[in-house]
């Protein structure tokens, strides 16, 4: 028997898994719930499906009843009170656009740059798995060298003051990274652990790619229906018109206005607001399913008997079935929380930007943004918890909060430094790829008049596509860091050590109210449960 965070006794799971081909080793104690899971928070799945269906039906109604003349209302047409003859649409690519034509002719270079970005992503993961220390050192040195090089360049160009500022920034970075050298070394170990988990579960990458494609296929039709809904309405006289001057329409101050405006039907704006919210909710739900499935896969890998590769067979499929099955309602609720948080953060940002001179508004919006970040943080770990235990969202959120307050680690060691290192390494990798694509394209297009401009566009597109691909891999790695930490924290609460090599890494990180290490009669080490405040 073991004690959970509320002081209740429970029996560790030792029975075999009941879903798919995944099964626990006989007699092996695991904190992952391998049993048949009950449907949780089902009401929220019904709410989500009802909202989604309503948006689809409303969009189809808008598509059928849209104004067929919507695209005929060009600027000249609406500026003439008599509705002058319609003009043809302007082509997006003019005949004299030499750079654009050259890009179209050189489509294979653009496609090669984009396709190569995926190989850069795989190389990025391989480098962090095999040479984590080198990648961290490269990232740190680049952040110091970049402002230093810019500063030297400005100095030689005669801009002494900006050069001094950039050199001071380089010195500041050097000092900060020197002071944080221990944490950077720990970051190297954390990323090595993450890469090992990803190497042992290679199917996660393909799963996340397919999930993103599915999200795209679901979101694009909803986005199209949302856009088409704006075509429901009719041209009406501009109510702001006060007088006329020839064929021009003027307001009361004599300023020129458009004579006609397109007025949407009364149902359009409420529908658009709801559809935008549901679209954001759908995207957040996709992210929650991704986190849930990754958590299930990684946690089964973590709690599996050491060296037993068969224990995690089928874990990815099993976790995905649970995500879209019994725990779909919990994920709908979690994604709804994240959606509301996103909306509040956007409103707070608008208030902050729109009231730059109002200190009270700035203070309130900043406080709201801070609170929402905390809510996002705990919502993410509630999802991790329910993926492991099969609890409802509310129970998982409470248990996750309790666990994090007992075992929360140094924020900069786990939550700030790894993402910073990964993102900067992604920027460096993408920049090198973009530069390489630029020179290759320039070599091919050099005889052309606008060859350099076209090559620059290819390089920029390659850089952006590489950043997008690497951001995708970074998200997976950050999720794994958080999941492995949470499994480690569950080990500590259960006074157990599942992966000694992982515990050795996390034990080096400063922690809040850490329990004492206790040596057992057999020589094994476990943790005393710390007191919660």
Alpha-carbon radius of gyration of the chain: 28
User: In the prediction, which pLDDT does 278 show?
Assistant: 94
Distance between CA atoms of 465 and 28, rounded to whole angstroms?
Answer: 45
Helix/strand/coil (H/E/C) assignment for every residue in 345-380: HHHHHHHHHHCCCCHHHHHHHHHHHHHHHHHHHHHH
> What pLDDT was estimated at residue 307?
59
116 in Cβ contact with 462 (< 8 Å): yes
φ and ψ at residue 257, rounded to 5 degrees: -125, 165
Nearest to 13 by CA among 37, 38, 30: 30
Q: In this structure, what are the phi and psi dihedrals at residue 217, rounded to the nearest 5 degrees?
A: -65, -30
The owner of tokens 């034990």 is 507
Residue found by looking up tokens 């050192």 in the block: 137
Question: What are the tens digits of pLDDT across the range 202-234?
Answer: 788 888 888 888 888 888 888 888 888 888 877
CB atoms within 10 A of CB 330: 31
pTM of the model: 0.74
Between the CA of residue 90 and those of 67, 87, 94, 258, 260, what are the distances in Å? 21, 9, 8, 20, 21
Q: Is the torsion defined by CA of 439, 441, 444, 445 positive or negative?
A: negative
Q: What does the mean pLDDT of the chain come to?
A: 76
Q: What ranges do the domains of the chain cover?
A: 2-86+97-232+267-506
**pLDDT score at 24:** 46
345 Ramachandran zone, left/alpha/beta (phi>0; psi -120 to 50): alpha
Say if residue 315's pLDDT is above 90: no
96 against 74, higher pLDDT: 74
Q: pLDDT, tens digit, for every residue of 451-475?
A: 777 788 888 888 888 888 888 888 8
pLDDT of residue 510: 57
When comparing pLDDT for 198 and 10, which is higher? 198
Separation CA 56–CA 428 (nearest Å): 42
User: Which is nearest to 388 in space by CA: 313, 318, 467, 468?
Assistant: 318
Q: Which residues, including other chains, have CB under 8 Å from residue 416's CB and lie 6 or more apart?
A: none
Average pLDDT over residues 145-165: 85
Asked if 207 contacts 234 with a C-beta cutoff of 8 angstroms, the reply is: no
Per residue in 271-313, pLDDT (tens digit) is: 999 999 999 999 999 999 999 999 999 888 888 776 566 666 7
529 CB-side CA count, 13 A = 15
Long-range pairs for 487-491: beta carbons < 8 A, 24 or more residues apart: 487/31, 487/298, 487/299, 487/302, 487/303, 487/388, 489/403, 489/404, 489/406, 489/407, 490/31, 490/388, 490/403, 491/31, 491/527
For the chain, helix, strand, coil in percent to 5 are 70, 5, 25
């Amino acid at each position: 028997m073991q004690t959970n965070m509320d002081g209740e006794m429970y029996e560790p799971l030792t029975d075999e898994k009941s879903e798919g081909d995944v099964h626990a080793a006989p007699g092996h104690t695991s904190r992952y719930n391998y049993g048949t899971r009950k449907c949780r928070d089902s009401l929220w799945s019904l709410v989500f499906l009802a909202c989604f269906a309503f948006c689809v039906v409303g969009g189809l109604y808008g598509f059928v009843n849209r104004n067929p003349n919507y695209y005929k209302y060009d600027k000249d047409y609406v500026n003439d009170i008599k509705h002058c003859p319609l003009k043809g649409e302007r082509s997006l690519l003019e005949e004299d656009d030499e750079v654009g034509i050259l890009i179209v002719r050189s489509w294979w270079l653009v496609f090669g740059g984009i396709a190569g970005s995926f190989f850069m992503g795989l190389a990025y993961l391989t480098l962090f798995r095999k040479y984590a220390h080198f990648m961290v050192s490269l990232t740190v040195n680049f952040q110091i060298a970049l402002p230093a090089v810019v500063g030297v360049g400005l100095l030689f160009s005669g801009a002494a003051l900006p050069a001094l500022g950039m050199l001071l920034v380089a010195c500041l970075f050097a000092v900060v990274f020197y002071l944080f050298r221990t944490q950077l070394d720990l970051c190297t170990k954390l990323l090595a652990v993450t890469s090992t988990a990803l190497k042992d579960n290679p199917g996660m990458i393909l799963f996340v790619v397919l999930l993103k494609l599915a999200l795209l296929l679901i979101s694009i039709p909803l986005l199209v229906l949302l856009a088409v809904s704006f075509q429901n309405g009719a041209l009406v006289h501009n109510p702001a018109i006060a007088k006329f001057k020839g064929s021009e329409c003027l307001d009361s101050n004599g300023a020129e206005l458009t004579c006609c405006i397109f007025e949407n039907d009364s149902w359009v704006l409420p529908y658009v607001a709801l559809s935008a919210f549901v679209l954001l909710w759908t995207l957040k739900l996709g992210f929650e399913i991704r986190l849930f499935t990754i958590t299930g896969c990684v946690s089964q890998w973590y709690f599996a008997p050491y060296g037993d590769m068969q224990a995690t067979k089928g874990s990815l499929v099993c976790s995905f079935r649970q995500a879209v099955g019994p725990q779909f309602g919990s994920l709908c609720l979690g994604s709804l929380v994240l959606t509301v948080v996103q909306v509040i953060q956007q409103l707070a940002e608008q208030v902050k930007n729109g009231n730059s001179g109002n200190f009270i508004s700035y203070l309130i919006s900043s406080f709201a943004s801070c609170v929402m970040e905390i809510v996002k943080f705990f919502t993410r770990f509630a999802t991790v918890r329910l993926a492991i235990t099969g609890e409802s969202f509310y129970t998982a959120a409470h248990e996750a909060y309790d666990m994090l307050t007992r075992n929360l680690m140094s924020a900069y060691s786990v939550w700030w430094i790894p993402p910073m290192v990964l993102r900067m390494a992604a920027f460096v990798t993408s920049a090198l790829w973009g530069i390489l694509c630029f020179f290759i394209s320039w070599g091919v297009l050099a005889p052309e008049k606008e060859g350099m401009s076209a090559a620059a566009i290819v390089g920029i597109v390659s850089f952006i596509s590489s950043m997008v691909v690497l951001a995708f891999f970074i998200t997976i790695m950050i999720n794994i860091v958080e999941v492995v930490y949470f499994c480690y924290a569950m080990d500590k609460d259960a006074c157990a050590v599942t992966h000694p090599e992982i515990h050795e890494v996390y034990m080096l990180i400063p922690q809040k109210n850490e329990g004492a290490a206790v040596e057992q009669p057999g020589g094994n080490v476990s943790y005393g449960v710390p007191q919660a405040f």
